[in-house]
A = this chain, B = another copy of it.
Amino acid sequence: MRAMPSSAVVPSNDPSVFSRTGEPALFSSGNRVLDALAPPDFAGIEHDLEIVSLSAHQFTHSIGGTMHHVDFPIDAVLSVVATLLNGDSVEVGTVGCESFVEADAALDSTIASRTSFCQVKGRVGRMTVERFEHRMRSSAPFARLMRHNVRATLFSAQQFVACNAKHSVLQRCARWLSMTADRVGSPQFTLTHDFLSIMLGVRRAGVSEAADALSRLGAIDYGRGVVTVLDKDVLERAACECYRACRQAFATSLIA
């Protein structure tokens, strides 16, 4: 059984646990989906967003719970997980500035169908479900963009199905680190082997071995919960094709 450490399991739907900076978004939100909106459709969106700083392992949505807000990551990375009956949690989606959480909100639902939490600390633009739904109804371009994004989310989940069936632990580690480096917009971020192993559904020792191999290749440096990407090209080459496939899917979702 590979459950998340108890620190992460503290349910924190209580909004008061989130520290808030309160600063409004200005010219751009920092989230690529929202920033892909044409100016007329983007108008006023800064008033609908609250910038929230999440620390690692804070929950944002809880399976079966009512969604109160939709989070558009800026430099935070969120994990969407499926929890199995034996307590194992496996990541089924990773969400950064290229997407939002939860997709359900764009599918006419206000119940979260999965649990999500902050994997790499950072900021999100938070919108209430009411405001989100209002925009979905009142702005066809907004709704279209969100649904195209859900399409990429579905595509990614499907890609991970194949990935977990066919690709090695090393490849999947490299994929995860490549994706995350893109999302945080920095070559360095916080993540323990233990957490990555839970997300990938593998042994902690397996991640340590993969991390060691990637270090030897010069792709990364790993020290006590902090990853530094030294050579992104090498890292991407060590990753399976799923990295590029998902990146591509989200990229086209923004323009189509």
Binding site for B on A (CB under 8 A): 80, 82, 84-85, 88, 90-93, 103-104, 107-109, 111, 113-114, 143-144, 147-148, 150-151, 153-155, 157-162, 164-166, 200-202, 241, 249, 256
Contact = CB atoms under 8 A, between A and B. Distances in A.
Contacts of A151: 103-104, 107-109, 113
17 contacts: A84-B166, A88-B162, A90-B166, A92-B158, A92-B161, A107-B147, A107-B151, A108-B143, A111-B256, A113-B154, A113-B249, A150-B150, A154-B157, A161-B161, A165-B200, A165-B201, A165-B202
Contact of A158 (B111, B157, B200): B157
Contact of A155 (B91, B114, B165): B114
Contact of A161 (B103, B113, B155, B157): B157
Contacts of A249: 113
A105 to B, nearest CB: 10
Contacts of A150: 107, 150, 154
A201 B164 CA distance: 9
Contacts of A113: 151, 154-155, 249
Contacts of A93: 158
B164 A165 contact: yes
A159 B256 CA distance: 28
B153 A154 contact: yes
Contacts of A114: 155, 158
Contacts of A104: 151
A47 B154 CA distance: 31
A159 B103 CA distance: 15
Kindly name the residue among A144, A147, A200 whose own CB sees the greatest number of chain B CB atoms within 10 A.
Answer: A147
Contacts of A84: 162, 166, 241
A85 B165 contact: no
A156 to B, nearest CB: 9
Nearest to A93: B158
Nearest to A153: B154
A150 B104 CA distance: 9
A114 B157 CA distance: 12
Given A85-B241, A107-B147, A154-B153, A90 B256 contact: no
Nearest to A199: B165
A20 B49 CA distance: 52
Given A154-B157, A161-B164, A148 B109 contact: yes
